[in-house]
Amino acid sequence: MSDVTPAPQPIRPPTALRFSSAIVTWSIIAICIVVYLAQNATGLAQGSVTIAGIFYGPAALEQPWRFVTALFLHASPIHILSNMFSLFMIGPALERMLGHWRFAVLYFLGGIAGGVAVYLLIPDTPVLGASGAIFGLLGAYFIIARRLGGNVAQILVVIALNLALPFYFPSIAWQAHVGGLIIGAVIALIYLLPRTSHRPRRQQYLLLGVFVLLVAVTLVRSMLL
C-alpha cells in the first residue's frame, strides 16, 4: 500500500450551480445576515455584538479572535448588502473550482490578512466587514482565471473600482482590501502548484507558512508599537 497522500481535485472551471457546490459561501452569507440582525435587534444587542467582535489593533494579541469575528460584522445596510452581493457574485464559482475546504482557507486567510494590514498601517482604527476576505477571493480569482486562460479584464475592472472607492469614501479601510488582495493572490499561486509523490503536502505546508507569516508580522508590529 502506498503511503503517498492522494492529490486533491484539480482546479477546473465551474459547473452548473448547486447549493451543495457552494455551501461555504451560502453559510458565510447566512451567518453575516444573522449577525447583522443581532447587531441591530432592539433589546438584544444594543451594540454589544459589534463591540465584542470588531477588529481593534490594540486588542489584537489579547483577543486574536477579532481577526475573524470582524469579518461577520457590518456597519450599515449598504455595507452588508454590497459585501454579500460581491460574495454572491464571486464565491460560488470560486468555491466550485477550489472545493469547500480550500475555499474556506482562502476566505479566512484573506480576511485575516486584511486585519493584519490594518494593524500594520492604522493600528488604532477599529474596522469591521468582510471586504478584506472578499478581496482575497478577487485576488485568487484573477490568478486562477488567468491560468485557465479566461478573460481577466472584467475582474481587473472590479478590483480597480473597489480599490478606488476609499478615495471617495474615506471611511473605507483600503488597507484591508490590499492585504486581502495580496494574500488571496499568493494562496491561488499555492493552489496551482502540482503535488507530487515527493512532496504530497507541499500546498498544506505553504498555507501554514502564510498563516505563520501573518502571525509573525502581527507580533513584530505589536513589539514596535
Q: Are 185 and 142 spatial neighbours (Cβ–Cβ below 8 Å)? A: yes
Active site residue 131: yes
**Residue where the block lists cell 498563516:** 211
Cα–Cα distances (Å) from 1 to 4, 9, 67, 202, in that order, read 9, 21, 42, 21
Report how far residue 52's alpha carbon sits from residue 57's, in angstroms, rounded to the nearest whole number.
13
Q: Looking at 20, 76, 177, 222, which residue is catalytic?
A: 177
Active site residue 177: yes
- Taking each helix axis from N to C terminus, what angle separates 100-121 and 23-40, rounded to the nearest 10 degrees? 50
**Residue where the block lists cell 486533491:** 8
Q: Looking at 48, 76, 131, 198, which residue is catalytic?
A: 131
Q: Are 35 and 73 spatial neighbours (Cβ–Cβ below 8 Å)? A: yes
Instruction: Give catalytic residues, as residue numbers.
Output: 131, 177
